[in-house]
Amino acid sequence: MVNDTGGETRDHQTAVARPSLLLTGLRRSGKTSIQHVIFSKMQPSQTQFLESTPQLTSNHFSCGSFINIQIQELPGQLHTFPSSQSSSISGGNSGQASPYDDDTNLVGGGYNMERLLKQCNAVVYIIDAQDDYNQSIARLHLIIQLGRRVNPKIRYEVFIHKVDQLSEEVKRETQRDIHNQIRDRFADSSGAIDPWLRTSFMSNSNSQEILINFHLTSIYDHSIFEAFSKVIQKLLPQFGQLEYLLNHLLSASNIERAFLFDIQTKISIATDSAPSDIQIYELCCDMIDLLINMSEIYGQPNINCIQDTECEDDDSNNEPVMNGNHSSTTNSCRNSSLGTTPITNNPYTSGIETTNEPASNVFDSMSSSIIKLTGHRALYLKEINHHLALICVLRDEALSKQAIIDYNVEQFKEYILKLFRLNQENSESSMSS
């Protein structure tokens, strides 16, 4: 189980080596769309032309070699469950029979649900909020029941999806209704089946075993990115340390907020511990877009950089070169004009790209940007490695000591690289052993 405090669960983590996420939901609920929007930068409007996915697909989320999360998409139309859920629930009255029924059906459908659940750390279940979600909830209930039996440590993240069409009040009502329905199902089934379950989801001992988080999401705004970030963050074994590091950076450099973003997917893999707001998240996403777009237009191939990035790709950490290069080429031509003028956009980019992510081919070790906003706010972006960027929100007075921030960020970068390398070594050693 992923744990924020990290250390004590290290053993477990390294044994698993790769956190795995199971993405499922009824058919046409938007699973593939979500993946495409997040991981392959598909325009949300294009997703309506996507065909439904016929078979189990698997995707990897990796920031370079740092993070490695496997995302499996289980299609909704597979008959992984018997068509009449009610019979299986009522059949469950007779004790353990019902889950086995499920199992046979699962295997018959071609996918061993039990095995999938055993392997995964979290289940992302997508409910189409614009559709009638009763059937969806029934399926979720079955998954949770099965999951609780085979792998009680699974986190369940329910995305109440396609909420962009709904008004604010309807959103809340939908969420509340879904929440209540799920709770009712567990209250019913636990009351009917066996007494030990009763304690697990009753009000006084709320969901002792099952963790269900709800997210209202839509691919047409940033909510899907934010929700997915939350899911990823929960799965990251290093999240606790990252948060600690970010907090430390904050207090040392007089920064207000700090985020660690994956450039490619705009997923924030870590934040500081202050309460997050979707607006700041959007701001950061837009900043990434701006930086990438500017770099793509004005970025020029630089021979040094090519070498540099290649080294980086090989080892994912080549500190001497990076540092040296950074100090020599960071040119922050300050332009204190008002508004949202990007001040520094490092034009040095690599012309060739050897990694598999095309969008990051202009993002390299010298990418950095400072944007001053109205309202005495500024955004500070610095590359951490080829895939990660640190984005800070700070008051523009704090920029008067930008050297300190630069230095601290450099230190922070080093620590993060060390942290991930350590982690990687750990997992490799455990894999080999």
Binding site for other proteins (CB under 8 A): 3-5, 167-169, 172, 175-176, 179-180, 183, 203-209, 211, 213-214, 216, 230, 234, 240, 243-244, 247-248, 250-252, 254, 256, 273, 275, 277-280, 375-376, 395, 397
Tell the smallest beta-carbon distance from residue 398 to other proteins (Å): 8
Nearer to other proteins, 10 or 183 (CB): 183
Dist CA 130 CA 159 (whole Å): 13
Q: SS3 of 126, please?
A: strand
**Backbone torsions φ then ψ of 308, nearest 5 degrees:** -60, -50
CB of 390 to other proteins, least distance (A): 18
Looking at beta carbons only, is 196 or 298 nearer to other proteins?
196
**Shortest separation between residue 169's beta carbon and other proteins, angstroms:** 7
Q: How far is the CB of 173 from other proteins (least distance, A)?
A: 9
Instruction: Please return the burial class of 338, using the count of CB atoms within 10 Å of its CB with bins 0-12, 13-18 and 19+.
Output: exposed
Vertex 337, ends 334 and 340: CA angle to 5°?
100
Helix (H/G/I), strand (E/B), else coil: 386: coil
Question: Which residue, 171 or 430, is less far from other proteins as judged by CB?
Answer: 171
Helix axes 319-329, 303-315, angle to 10 degrees: 150
Residue among 74 and 267 whose Cβ is closer to other proteins = 267
The label of the residue with tokens 């990051």 reads 360
Closest contact distance (angstroms) between CB of 21 and other proteins is 16
Give the chain's length. 433
For the sheet with 267-271, list strands across it: 267-271, 257-262, 388-395, 377-383, 368-373
Q: Which is nearer to other proteins, 110 or 191 (CB)?
A: 191
Q: How far is the CB of 133 from other proteins (least distance, A)?
A: 16
Q: Give the shortest CB-258-to-other proteins separation in angstroms.
A: 12
Nearest CB to other proteins, comparing residues 180 and 300: 180
Instruction: Retrieve residue 176's tokens.
Output: 């509340």
Burial class of residue 204 in the structure, from the number of CB atoms within 10 Å of its CB (0-12 exposed, 13-18 middle, 19+ buried): exposed
> Apex CA 421: angle with CA 428 and CA 274, to 5°?
120
Select 167 or 336, whichever has its Cβ closest to other proteins.
Answer: 167
